[in-house]
Amino acid sequence: MKSIISIVSIISIVSIISACSRNNQTTVILHAGAGLRDAADELIKVFEKENPNIKINANYAGSGRLLGQIITGNLGGLFMPGDAFYVDQAIKKDVAIKNTKNKVAYFVPVIFTQKDNPKNIRLLKDFERKNIRIGLGDERAAAIGKRTLKIFEKNKIPYDKIKKQVMVKTATVNELGIAIAAKTVDVVILWDVIARQFAKSGDIIPIPLSENIISEIPIVLLKSTADKSAAQKFINFCISEKGKEILKEKGYNVN
């Protein structure tokens, strides 16, 4: 079933490219992590206004899922996942161009609880308590899932010790915020930017820097891209001062 879904996704992406190429407009697909949607939409909007002959079509999903689509379908365009691991894998698999990799911004993982924190969750070690319901990103699909497991490992929190409390595993980071809003779980770890988007539904608890692992958000050009010059223009825009200002306005760390 998963392979069928992936094939359908790839066919949809190819159809978008074909449709736009008929309109005398260069089209570039941006394969972006779901947690980047808010910022990426704004970057695309401003970029297209300045470059009317270039159309950027976004394909949003979990970073792991996007990587699978790109490798399976030998897709072109740009890849902007939630963590550098996925770009490095794309380069290793020879589907991305190494010297086009650039840092766009950073995600900072935070603990996010239900509003007013009824379970009084303050520390990473509280994830080991038996009376809390945990939500995690699926490490096979979402960058936040893989990053969370690394944070647990760094802080000597065995996954086997908490897995019985894991009620939800999500394909995207955004779904973790929804799980808190729906009170399906008591606590999650998600990106700081996404937590602020759900601030009315939950409380943000920073993770001390010594316990945390910050995630670099990269962008890279894929080898099968038809118009590499147009795609590179979008990379240049994302890392420009104007691009950085847009990202900062959306709450991203860019330094």
Is pTM beyond 0.95? Reply is no
Domain boundaries, the chain: 2-106+217-249, 109-206
State the DSSP code for 173.
Answer: S
Q: Is the pLDDT of residue 114 over 50?
A: yes
Q: What superfamily does domain 109-206 belong to in CATH?
A: Periplasmic binding protein-like II (3.40.190.10)
The mean per-residue pLDDT over the stretch 212-227 comes to: 97
* Helix, strand, coil % over all residues of the chain, rounded to 5: 45, 25, 30
Cα 223 from Cα 82, distance rounded (Å): 20
The mean per-residue pLDDT over the stretch 239-247 comes to: 97
> Residue 255's pLDDT band (boundaries 50, 70, 90)?
confident
CB atoms within 10 A of CB 197: 17
| DSSP per position, 184-204 | S-SEEEEEHHHHHHTTTTEEE
Q: Is the pLDDT of residue 6 over 70?
A: no
Q: What is the pLDDT of residue 25?
A: 86
- Per DSSP, which regions of the chain are E strands? 26-33, 54-61, 78-80, 102-107, 109-114, 134-137, 166-170, 187-191, 202-206, 215-221
pLDDT in tens, 151-193: 999 999 999 999 999 999 999 999 999 999 999 999 999 999 9
pLDDT in tens, 48-106: 999 999 999 999 999 999 999 999 999 999 999 999 999 999 999 999 999 999 999 99
**Please, are residues 60 and 37 in contact by the beta-carbon 8 Å criterion?**
yes
CB atoms within 10 A of CB 155: 17
Shared fold status for 2-106+217-249 and 109-206? yes
Q: Identify the CATH number of the domain defined by range 2-106+217-249.
A: 3.40.190.10
